[in-house]
Structure 1
Amino acid sequence: MDIFRYIQDIKVHLKLTFDEVDGWFRKDKKTLNHQPSNGGWTIQQILEHIYLTNFYLLILIEKGSKKAMKNSLNLDLESEMENYSFNKENFDRVGEHGAFEWIRPEHMEPKGEMSLDEIRSLITQQYFQCLQYLEVMKNGEGLLYKTTMTVNELGKINVYEYIYFLSLHAQRHITQMKKNESEMIKN
């Protein structure tokens, strides 16, 4: 596997996703606060949820990154890179809103206690955190540590896959925000 291409692909996905998320912060208050007819979250609540989910995923990514770097001192990175293949199909559904049932923990539900500017600033910082982890693990080290991901039965995933998952999760909610905006325009 070309690990450098793989890391670059994750960086591109992060950039496109985070840029699109950032665009939602420029919407007017009516759009941001439209309550969808299905009783779901407003766009502002979705943005807060993206931040909260990123926050908790980044805790796992940080731990995983440290363990992967430690493992790089003892494990055969070349062998790991030769034997690794990314199963993109397993992950793609994560980015599709409504593709499967997703029960999120209560601590990832928006509370409405943060300002839009605060959420935007924190999400921007989270983007840079992801890039920093990719830079630290720039030679393939992220393959050397796996953590279980129960969402969509992904199983044990490496640190790069966790970062990609974070980006896909935001992408999933971009679709949800588009649906909210579309419903508001129709009404």
Structure 2
Amino acid sequence: MSIAEAIEKIRTSLDRVSAELDPWFEKSPALLDYRPERGWNAAQILEHVSLTNHFLLILIRKGTRKALERAERDGLPKDPGALTVDLERLDLIASHRSFRWERPAHMEPAGEKSMDEVRVLLHEQFGDCSACLEQLKNGEGTLYTTMMSVGGLGKIDVYQYLYFLCLHAERHLGQLQRVEAEYLASAG
């Protein structure tokens, strides 16, 4: 897809996922703390999303800086309209159990932050993603790639990292919905 289409898709995804995560902080403490038969409770899932965002944002910020430096030094291709981004190859990231991956220990929720702190962090993180995307509005995000081991993706550019962050959050929105359904069924 074109740079303009990719940017719009990422912007829409950032806004949607952020808006869908936020109401979870208004859920009852009983639901947030409910331990499902399998996996994390809702509070742990939200914390995990913030932890993962933190580490992805380190790469996104660095990639944004490097991409802008390359654009400044080398310029963009003569026909920026010819630049494309393949976001579709990342879509599997949003699907629960679509690949096997052992997450690093530093992305495991430890319950060290309150739900209010996690909410603020998520809001700031999605804002930071939007700011990076805004800086890359002319295709600069294609100029820097980094290795992504998750799902065997290989090298991905800065736009793809931003979209990956969205898809990761979307994946866990599905998990939150499953926890809520189990909680409601157990209370019923």
- The TM-score range, normalised by the shorter chain, is over 0.9
Question: Is 1:114 matched up with 2:123?
Answer: no
Aligned CA RMSD, in angstroms, stands at: 1.4
The count of residues paired between Structure 1 and Structure 2 equals: 185
SS in 2 for 1:157: strand
Trace 1:57-96 onto structure 2 (pairs within 5 A): 57-78=56-77, 82-88=82-88, 90-96=89-95
How far apart in 2 are the matches of 1:117 and 1:25? 8
Query: Deviations along 1:121-178, whole A, 9 cap, x unmatched?
Result: 0100001000100111111111100000010011100001000000100000011111
SS in 1 for 2:66: helix
How far apart in 2 are the matches of 1:56 and 1:114? 16
SS in 2 for 1:77: coil
TM-score, normalised with respect to structure 2: 0.94
How far apart in 2 are the matches of 1:141 and 1:103? 31
- Point out where structure 1 has 5 or more consecutive residues left out of the alignment: none
The answer to whether the 8 A contact 2:80-2:138 is kept is no
The answer to whether the 8 A contact 2:13-2:166 is kept is yes
Look up the equivalent residue of 1:8 and give its one-letter code. E
- Which shifted more, 124-133 or 68-77? 68-77
How far apart in 2 are the matches of 1:19 and 1:102? 27
The answer to whether the 8 A contact 2:2-2:83 is kept is no
The answer to whether the 8 A contact 2:147-2:155 is kept is yes
Question: Is 1:46 matched up with 2:45?
Answer: yes
The answer to whether the 8 A contact 1:33-1:43 is kept is yes
- Which shifted more, 4-13 or 68-77? 68-77
How far apart in 1 are the matches of 2:121 and 2:87? 30
Q: Which residue is 2:23 aligned to?
A: 23
| C-alpha spacing 1:118/1:87, structure 2 compared with 1 (3 Å) | closer
The answer to whether the 8 A contact 2:36-2:179 is kept is yes
Trace 1:1-187 onto structure 2 (pairs within 5 A): 2-38=2-38, 40-78=39-77, 82-88=82-88, 90-187=89-186
The answer to whether the 8 A contact 2:41-2:179 is kept is yes
Shift of 1:102: 2.1
TM-score, normalised with respect to structure 1: 0.94
How far apart in 1 are the matches of 2:62 and 2:85? 23
Report percent identity of matched pairs: 44
| C-alpha spacing 1:23/1:173, structure 2 compared with 1 (3 Å) | same
Shift of 1:83: 4.9
How far apart in 1 are the matches of 2:85 and 2:49? 28
The answer to whether the 8 A contact 1:149-1:155 is kept is yes
How far apart in 2 are the matches of 1:83 and 1:19? 30
SS in 2 for 1:37: coil
